[in-house]
Chain A
Amino acid sequence: MYEFLKYTVKDAMTPSPLTTTPDTLLRELEKIFETHDFNGIPVLNHEGRLVGMVTKYDLLKAFIFTPDSPIPRYGLIMDRPASSVMSLDPVTVNPDMPLSRLLQELVELQTKSFPVVENGRLVGIISREDVLKALRRTTAA
């Protein structure tokens, strides 16, 4: 019954996740989202440091009405780089974080996934689905 409390982030995360770069075009990102069922992808710079997170929400947000143009320039927007829409300095979590605390943050921040960082390096990603899976495992009759 209390099994879940023993879990940490590293027990439930997806290690070595797919990543992208700041100069990846939005149309390439869209393809990644289409191929993989990720909510968000960590963005690493050329040194392999985490510089942002880009989510489906960020991608959608690029196409909203703005005062700049009566019609969003759909085609041109698709050619913008990930750096133009990604969240900078995303909230990250440590692999040793208790999963109960991680669950709390997911709910409070209404975030769908967090990059997992250890000693400044990305080591995984943990999502709502990962936590649900751990809950299922630890509460199975």
Chain B
Amino acid sequence: MTTLLYNHPVCMEHDMGYGHPECPDRLVAIYGALKQPAFAALQWREAPAATLEQLTRVHPQRYLDRIMAAVPKDGLRALDGDTALCPSSGEAALRAAGAACAAVDEIMAGEADNAFCAVRPPGHHAEPGRAMGFCVFNNVAVGAVHARKVYGLDRVAIIDFDVHHGNGTQAVFEHQPEYMYLSSHQSPLYPGTGRSSERGVGNIVNLPLPPYSGSEEIRNGWATLLAPALRAFRPDFIFISAGFDAHRLDPLAQLSFTEEDYAWLTREILAIAAEFSKGRVVSTLEGGYSLSALAASVAVHVKALMEAPALAAQAAARIA
């Protein structure tokens, strides 16, 4: 079976200015890693632009209009202190959100097991009516709502292991019990949300980690908090907000994850997906600003996705 890799050249044209850490070179590094022979079985797909219908399930029409009107003909237009649009950013943002929806369609049609969307801008800080923290549209939320509305799934889960809390995704889903949002993140850190006490309608599970937390803390947190909550939710589909900035080499935070932690986490998520979600997983890129750590971490993450069906079959055989 198949792992899909969504990308589009315009996602490399979205450029927020010289020296900005959320830069096109992130995708250059990722594509460099995924073009190696070990990834020959990956099926590359061009990310389509999200439709108005897909986007308006999460973002108000007037917000979409405002963003598209703000796309400059040349130069940069600031949306907040850290987020800007260049002439290619509008299309890049549409395709970043569209990738998650297209991945859902292919998986639900049985054309693939899972997918990784190597797209930017990232999305998890984007609130329904507000761009922030390098994010314009909430890609993972758009994908998750698409999965539920179009395919009638009962329960959709989003796991976010970016080092920053996904305030935007939490804001979208905190009153909707059909969705569960689970996040591990450094605290204190931008954007300041994500306390354990933020529980939505019982569907938000936050694991704030103090600076310098690493393998032991995330694995314990997963085993004692996140995994039990995810299993109890019995998701029909799992999304991953895949940020790799909790890596020990990342310059924007102070957690100490390693590549092996990302491989382990991915396999853990896939095991739950095999048990409850028919293996359906869409992972979409969020942060990760050390180019070498990003490339290595995405590589092990995608490798785990590619090996998921085999792992699931082995697990099933063991149970039988």
Binding site for B on A (CB under 8 A): 65-71, 73
Contacts and interface: CB of A to CB of B under 8 A. Distances in A.
A71 B191 CA distance: 11
Given A65-B252, A65-B253, A71 B192 contact: no
Contacts of B214: none
Interface in B150-202: 164, 188-192
Residue of A66, A69, A70, A73 with highest tally of chain B CB at under 10 A: A70
Majority SS at the chain B contact face: loop
B81 A65 contact: no
B121 interface: no
A65 B189 contact: yes
Contacts of A71: 21, 82, 252
Contact of A68 (B134, B190, B253, B254): B190
Contacts of A67: 188-192
B254 A65 contact: yes
A70 B192 contact: no
Given A65-B252, A67-B191, A71-B21, 12 more contacts: A65-B190, A66-B188, A67-B188, A67-B190, A68-B190, A68-B192, A69-B190, A70-B82, A70-B164, A70-B190, A70-B252, A71-B82
A70 B134 contact: yes
Contacts of B279: none
Contacts of B190: 65-70
A66 B189 CA distance: 6
Interface string B73-92: 00000000110000000000
B252 to A, nearest CB: 6
Contacts of B164: 70
Residue of A65, A71, A73 with highest tally of chain B CB at under 10 A: A71
B20 to A, nearest CB: 8
Interface string B244-262: 0000000011100000000
Contacts of B123: none
B133 interface: yes
8 contacts: A65-B189, A65-B252, A65-B254, A66-B188, A67-B190, A69-B82, A70-B82, A70-B164
B207 to A, nearest CB: 17
Nearest to A76: B81
Nearest to A68: B190
A68 B133 CA distance: 10
B188 A69 contact: no
A14 to B, nearest CB: 37
A75 to B, nearest CB: 11
Contacts of A68: 190, 192
A130 to B, nearest CB: 35
Contacts of A65: 189-190, 252-254
Contacts of B81: 69, 73
A135 B188 CA distance: 43
A70 B188 contact: no
A120 B21 CA distance: 49
A27 to B, nearest CB: 18
Nearest to A71: B82
A33 to B, nearest CB: 23
B81 to A, nearest CB: 6
A66 B81 CA distance: 14
Contacts of A70: 82, 133-134, 164, 190-191, 252
A77 B27 CA distance: 30
